[in-house]
Structure 1
Amino acid sequence: MLVVRSAPQSRPYRRSPPRIDLATNQSRRKKFAMTTIHTSDPFISTPQDSTAYWLLDILWVVHATGEQTQGRYSLIEQWMPQDAFAPPHVHPHADESFWVMEGELTVEVGGKTLVLGPGSLGHVPRNHVHSFKVTGNSVCHILNYYTPAGFEQAVIGSARPAERREMPPRGLDAPDSPQVARFFNNYWAAQADLPWALLTFDPAN
């Protein structure tokens, strides 16, 4: 059987803006070129080989880094004590998602209050100021997902290796400690009151 299809109507050609490799902060590309797409190697992350850290009264376990995922995403598991919180801050170059496994987490973003219980997922697009607090009566256990990868390096570079696979002693990091200052003043995370934090990132420039 012969099938005749009409030719599609032509559309104005629109040139896509140049792209930038956010995961490694490479120079912006001004010209287009054919490139080879590389995929990451299969890997498994277990509790035994994932590195644990202490920072801000939180136990962080980094399960996937940009090095493992070719910069596509990172995955961090966290245990946060009751009343733990993060002040208003922004991730200029990464989208963030929270998936709550235990406890309750309240996220403030874009004029909305998101109350996340077990099994709930909350999503914060990049460049959106947000804060969160553990509002339940117990430890909050979450998975924290960032795309592209990179934020995990802020954790690794600011936190201290966990001495035990348990939550750190309360008050281990003072609010004005150098570790906390580094954590909220870098390429991947910044307190919202920093003058550069809310600059719009334009990949076309």
Structure 2
Amino acid sequence: MFANQMNQNGFLLQPGQGTSYWVLGDLYTFKTVSKDTNGTYSLMEMIVYPQTGSPPHIHSREDESFFVQSGEIQFQIDGQTLVATPGTFIYSPRGQRHLFTNKSNQPAQMLCWVTPAGLEQFFMEIGTPADDPTAPPPPVTDADIRHTIALAPQYGLTILPPDSAIN
């Protein structure tokens, strides 16, 4: 079972619980997935390590919301750059070009809601199960990047070239 059962309509996860994957150098811990919410949303806790993040991309199927819990994460959303600090909430609707990067020298942590659910399957497919979430992140290889770009269209994602971001 993905979560500790609370009752027939819900569940409880304690701190540190969830299914974790290394995704392009970052740690994604899934707190809910599609089957937990009847497909309405998924929620992941993300640890974004220094000098990592997402490539510029556009979702055609889902909206994303981010809540920064610790550290600083730079977002670029439709050409606008902002630095998100703890307590910052960002909503990015489907169709909006965006990316995020941790430009600091400390890990940052945020929650990411994806509505509707399903995108977690993409992250699980491109990621590697994190048997030890306290270990250093594995290096990102060219093969990882090629696999991500090749698989993205199956999930309604358009990965854009890095130069499409406005710095």
Q: Same fold (TM over 0.5)?
A: yes
- 1:127 to 2:95 alignment: yes
Q: Report sequence identity in percent.
A: 31
In the alignment, which of 55, 58, 62 is matched to residue 30 of structure 2? Answer: 62
Q: What is the DSSP-based 3-state SS (H/G/I as helix, E as strand, rest coil) of the residue aligned with 1:143?
A: strand
User: Which structure has more RCO (C-alpha within 8 Å, separation ≥ 6)?
Assistant: 2
Q: Which runs of 5+ in 2 are unaligned?
A: 1-7, 162-167
Point out where structure 1 has 5 or more consecutive residues left out of the alignment: 1-39, 194-205
> 1:72-83 residue pairs with structure 2 within 5 A?
72-83=40-51
For normalisation by structure 2, the TM-score amounts to 0.81
- Partners of 2:23 and 2:66 in 1: CA distance: 18
Alpha-carbon shift at residue 179 of structure 1 (Å): 4.0
Q: Is the 8 A contact 2:27 2:137 kept in 1?
A: no
* Residues 1-205 of structure 1 aligned to structure 2 (within 5 Å): 41-47=9-15, 49-166=17-134, 168-171=136-139, 173-177=140-144, 179-182=147-150, 184-192=152-160
- Runs in 1 of length 4+ with deviation above 4 angstroms? none
TM-score normalised according to structure 1 size: 0.67
Largest Rg, 1 or 2: 1
- Count of matched residue positions in the alignment of Structure 1 and Structure 2: 153
| 8 Å Cα contact 2:22-2:138 kept in structure 1 | no
1:168 and 1:186 mapped to 2: Cα distance?
30
Distance, in Å, in 2 between the alignment partners of 1:104 and 1:182 is 30
C-alpha RMSD over aligned residues:
2.1
